[in-house]
Amino acid sequence: MRRLTLGAFAALTLLLTACGADDGGNQVASAGQPATGAPASAPADADKGDMGVKFAQCMRENGVDMPDPEPGKGVQLKVDKNTPKEVVDKAQEACREFSPQANGKANPQMQENARKFAECMRANGVEAFADPDPNQPGIRISPEIGEDPDFEKAQEACKDIMALPGEK
């Protein structure tokens, strides 16, 4: 059984919204910036780790079973294939105030890092990995990209591009 893990970079404006399936039927998507709208502002003193825990708790309260984030690994949303996309989307919308990247605006450096990440993914075998849309914060990953046999290897090779300071 192969489980696809789509990495999460919790404090960055990186949105990984795709799902890949394994033989066991689980899907994994990383939760970051919600797909629509800008999240509410988080308290300035809120720790990103605490925000990740609050986000995970909120997602669970809204019908999406997910674990609390592990330190340094970001928020990983593991979704059973029977969980409708609409449920995940509604939960993300309901929980956006707890999103670890609560400013809702992509800064130019993060956008450049996202572009470099996409370039690195292509260079490491995921040829269909598209550049991020400059008019929308984050990166969107289609299910086909998440199921690419080179995805996990490429993600591991490219993770430092989007890593938080101190996580490299």
| pLDDT on residue 123 | 98
Tell me which residue range forms the domain holding 92.
20-104+137-147
Number of structural domains in the chain: 1
| pLDDT on residue 53 | 87
Residue 45 lies in a domain: yes
| pLDDT on residue 119 | 96
Residue 112 lies in a domain: no
Residue 74's DSSP bridge partners are: 70
| pLDDT on residue 164 | 56
Nearest CA-CA partner of 132 in 119, 144, 114: 114
Q: Does the pLDDT of residue 16 top 90, yes or no? A: no
Task: Please state the pTM of the whole predicted model.
Answer: 0.47
Q: Are strands 26-30 and 76-80 parallel, antiparallel or unpaired?
A: antiparallel
Q: Which stretch of DSSP H or E encloses residue 86?
A: helix 85-94
Model confidence over 27-85: pLDDT tens digits?
444 433 333 333 333 444 346 667 788 888 998 999 988 888 877 666 666 677 777 88
What is the side-by-side order of every strand in the sheet holding 76-80? 20-21, 26-30, 76-80
DSSP 20-44: EE-TT-EEEEE--S-SSSPPPPPPT
